[in-house]
Structure 1
Amino acid sequence: MKIKNEMANWGPRSASYWMTLLIAAGIIIIGVRFMLVPRTGAAGFGIPLSSNLDLAFGRIKGIRDIFSGLALLPLLFFRMKKATAYVFTAAIIVPATDCLLVYLNNGPIMSQLIHGITVVYMAITSYILLRDTKKTTA
């Protein structure tokens, strides 16, 4: 009954739970902003939209961000630490690629820093999640 044991040992009392929830909620909010005001979202991202024809791409990014956040919520709700750890760790590729794209497009240094800090934050959170996972399943 590893699942019951896992649920009993991880949840709202764990820092890694809240650290993961912060990223999930944050990316949902960013996605909603992209859906509602794509120009503002793109400017905040670090690569502004160049014409009205680009508005659809902003909304495409928005729905993908919303999905990324929503994908973590059931794992958190059901306290599936191991699955959360693996999905969250794999998701680091998104802000890392975003950081690189903003850099390659001569985006603002602040946007590059935000994406880079997100990578570091997610790497630390992943480390904690994976470390905690090894303790529970060992």
Structure 2
Amino acid sequence: MITTQRIPSPLRLIILLLGLGMLFIGGRFLLAPEAGEVGFGLQYQQPNYAFHAIKGIRDIFSGLMILLLAWYHYRHPLLLTFLAGSLIPLTDMLIIWYTPGSNLWATLIHGGTALTLWLLCYFLVQAAPPSKTNSSEPVTASVKRISSLSESSDSVLELSILPGERTPWHYHELFSETFRILKGELTVGQGDQTLDLREGQTATIEPGQKHFFSNTSGKECLIQVTVSPGNQNFEESLLIYKGLAKDGFASTSGTPKNLLDLALFIHLNDSHMIGFSKIAEPFFRLLARYATQRGRLAELKANYVNS
């Protein structure tokens, strides 16, 4: 039996627009085959209209599947559809790449489409509802500001890292970040090494150094984070981050479920992505700007920073 699991509204809107885009591309292949062929990245002196019909109906089917699964909040089937369906734009990219006289820009578009599907898979996974923990001890997201930029040169906060909570590889440009374990265990990636930190141990991440953290112990971890030089936005990002998690608006990994909230957190936190995911940075900057203009940032500060 297929069950529904609600997809956050901004993510669902993006997926629905993707489905409509697929319907447009498929319809163009059927109604304007020459234009569709050029848009795909190939152009022949004698177009094969059978190919246009095959390509068109494939895209219409794909678009309808995306629209229906997103509309009815079938998150798991949608995730698997995107994961398996990414083979299509990857293959299209290779076809264009190895065809003499083909369009290089179209090659990049097909590759970008595959990357977009993988990013949507990531966000669909992050949007999963919280799973039950086997621990008998109740755990809840918490954060406490020990020292603020307004009081000293550094920002110092104490926060809980819940079982299953993790971050992807990223880096900061504006400050160093020191983790000190007060309770429990935490895995920290630092450059090319991975550290398993226990109570009393520390790790300092320098500006520009890639890192991540992950709590795989099954128990709550309590840490103290020191940011040098202090950063007001960083302080507010953690207060918002943990406030959202405490109210149930974050996934088990700690990622905000609302795409606009995630974009604002990345912006405030001065987080920069690593590898292929770096392509998504301009998209998140636009979302953060949009969310700020819409008043979402002011709303989050009122709920979790100034309360």
TM range (shorter): 0.7 to 0.9
Match for residue 113 of structure 1 among 74, 87, 108: 108
Structure with the bigger RCO (C-alpha within 8 Å, sep 6+) is: 1
Match for residue 68 of structure 1 among 49, 57, 62: 62
Q: CA deviation at 1:137?
A: 6.0
Per-residue deviation, residues 17-76 of structure 1 (Å, max 9, x unmatched)? 122222211111000000001111011101124415x11211211011100111122211
Greater share of strand:
2
Greater share of helix:
1
**Cα RMSD for the two superposed structures:** 1.8
Distance 1:49 1:28 in 2: 24
Distance 2:16 2:103 in 1: 27
Q: Which of 1 and 2 has greater Rg?
A: 2
Match for residue 119 of structure 2 among 112, 121, 124: 124
Aligned to 1:95: 89
Per-residue deviation, residues 89-117 of structure 1 (Å, max 9, x unmatched)? 21111111101100010311111111111
Match for residue 18 of structure 2 among 12, 23, 28: 23
Structure 1 segments of 4+ aligned residues over 2 angstroms from their partners: none
Task: Decide whether the 8 Å contact of 1:49 with 1:55 is kept in 2.
Answer: no
Task: Decide whether the 8 Å contact of 2:82 with 2:118 is kept in 1.
Answer: no
Query: What SS does the corresponding residue of 1:79 show, helix, strand or coil?
Result: coil
Gaps of 5+ in 1: none
* TM-score w.r.t. length of structure 2: 0.40
Gaps of 5+ in 2: 132-307
Distance 1:110 1:51 in 2: 22
Q: CA deviation at 1:3?
A: 3.5
